[in-house]
Amino acid sequence: MLEVIKVCSGYGELNVLDQVSIKVNKGETVAVIGPNGAGKTTLLKTIAGLIIPHKGTIVFNGIDITTASPHRRVELGISYVPCEKLVFPYMTVLENLEMGCYNKRARNKKDELLEWVFQLFPILRERRNQLAGTLSGGEQRMLALARGLMSMPSLLMLDEPSFGLAPKIVKQFYDALSAIKNEGLSVLLVEQKAHYALNFAERAYLLSNGKIVFSGSSQDMLNNEFVKKSYLGVI
């Protein structure tokens, strides 16, 4: 489904990612973990088209999207839920959700999609006429994920979904992600709290200083002494 091949990417002339290659198969959940400043967010922004790589190739469902616009990538089925600037605060919950289904494919199924995300997050149904900026932090994160789902993605990319959330809310969030995963969506998940990600994903990559330093099954990574000693204790 998604192949990132030897990508070098960053800001201006500065490369943050150095020859990074990852793969996400159809229906698979993949985690990218690593310390602060490793390049995890840069990787997602590059796949989403917010940053054009200096070198390398990005292929999605057999189509080279290396230089494609963010809008084109959404049309093809890629949805990116960032860590910050989650919602439009002066729009209602419902209006935020409707903003997510601006592509034609999703617009034609708007009512169906709304019902789906309301089933995933019942609190959003209750709050649908409330201004998004008045929601709690956890509710805003749920709204951001729900809006990302409104575009009918086949690949959902999440940046630090547990950031700033209480453990109880994190559990609710990951329960919803499990339901999404069961729908057959591919998920690419960036987390600094590695144990959440590794217990959820099937495979994982460890990114450090802009390079992939370890990859394998999530269980292999949890059991690897080098990874545990060098990263899992501090991530």
DSSP label of 132: G
**Tell me, what's the pLDDT at 103?**
84
The pLDDT tens digits of the residues spanning 46-90 come to 999 999 999 999 999 999 999 999 999 999 999 999 998 789 999
- Calpha distance 39→206 (Å, rounded): 11
Flag whether pLDDT at 116 surpasses 80: yes
Who contacts 75 (Cβ-Cβ below 8 Å, separation ≥6)? Answer: 103, 105
Q: Domain-by-domain residue ranges, the chain? A: 1-77+154-163+186-235, 84-152
DSSP label of 204: E
If one compares 70 and 105, the residue with the highest pLDDT of the two is 70
State the fold for domain 1-77+154-163+186-235: Rossmann fold (3.40.50)
CA proximity to 155, closest of 52, 56, 55, 81: 81
Give backbone dihedrals phi and psi of 121, rounded to 5 degrees, phi first.
-130, 80
- Name beta bridge partners: 9: 17
- Calpha distance 145→79 (Å, rounded): 9
**Tell me, what's the pLDDT at 165?**
86
The pLDDT tens digits of the residues spanning 159-192 come to 999 888 888 888 888 999 999 999 899 999 998 7
Query: 27-36, 129-138, 222-231: which has the minimum mean pLDDT?
Result: 222-231
CA proximity to 157, closest of 169, 167, 149: 149
**Tell me, what's the pLDDT at 162?**
87
**Tell me, what's the pLDDT at 234?**
47
CA proximity to 29, closest of 208, 205, 231: 205
CA 168 to chain centre: 20
pLDDT band of residue 233 (cuts 50, 70, 90) is low
**Tell me, what's the pLDDT at 59?**
99
Q: Where are the beta strands (DSSP E) in the chain?
A: 2-11, 14-24, 29-33, 55-60, 63-64, 78-81, 155-159, 186-191, 203-208, 211-217
DSSP-based three-state secondary structure for 23: strand
Average pLDDT, the chain: 93
CA 187 to chain centre: 7
Buried residues in 106-120 as b, exposed as e (16+ CB within 10 A): beeeeeebbebbbeb
- Calpha distance 24→101 (Å, rounded): 24
DSSP-based three-state secondary structure for 131: strand
Amino acid at 86: L
CB 202 within 8 A of CB 219: no
If one compares 112 and 169, the residue with the highest pLDDT of the two is 112
If one compares 228 and 30, the residue with the highest pLDDT of the two is 30
Side-chain-facing half-sphere of 171: CA atoms under 13 Å: 3
